[in-house]
């Protein structure tokens, strides 16, 4: 399993780097084309066109005690 250290993406349209810092911390970039959610609990990505709208910047480590959940 993986433990989330940082839940972050970079928007490929406006260049904003956005970070979700805690569970249910829904953050959007300034142009509104992509968003992150979940803090260190889960990775959720929202995008307007395709997963290519953003660059993944999250940091995760292996941890046998954690379960990683990803929502698209």
Contact (Cβ atoms closer than 8 angstroms) between residue 35 and residue 14: no
Selection from 44, 48, 40 nearest residue 9 by Cα: 44
- Average pLDDT across the chain, whole number: 91
pLDDT at 1: 75
pLDDT at 32: 96
pLDDT at 12: 97
What would the DSSP string read from start to end of 1-66? -EEEEEEEEEETTT--EEEE-STT--EE-TTSSEEEE-TTT-EEEEESS-GGGEEE--EEEE-TT-
- Percentage of the chain lying above the pLDDT 90 cut: 82
12-46 pLDDT, tens per residue? 999 999 999 999 999 999 999 999 999 999 999 99
């Amino acid at each position: 399993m993986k433990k989330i250290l940082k839940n972050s993406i970079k928007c490929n349209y406006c260049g904003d780097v956005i970070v979700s810092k805690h569970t249910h911390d829904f953050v959007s970039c300034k142009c509104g084309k992509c968003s992150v959610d979940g803090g260190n609990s889960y990775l959720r990505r929202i995008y307007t066109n395709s997963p290519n709208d953003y660059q993944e910047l999250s940091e995760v480590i292996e941890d046998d005690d954690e379960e990683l959940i990803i929502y698209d």
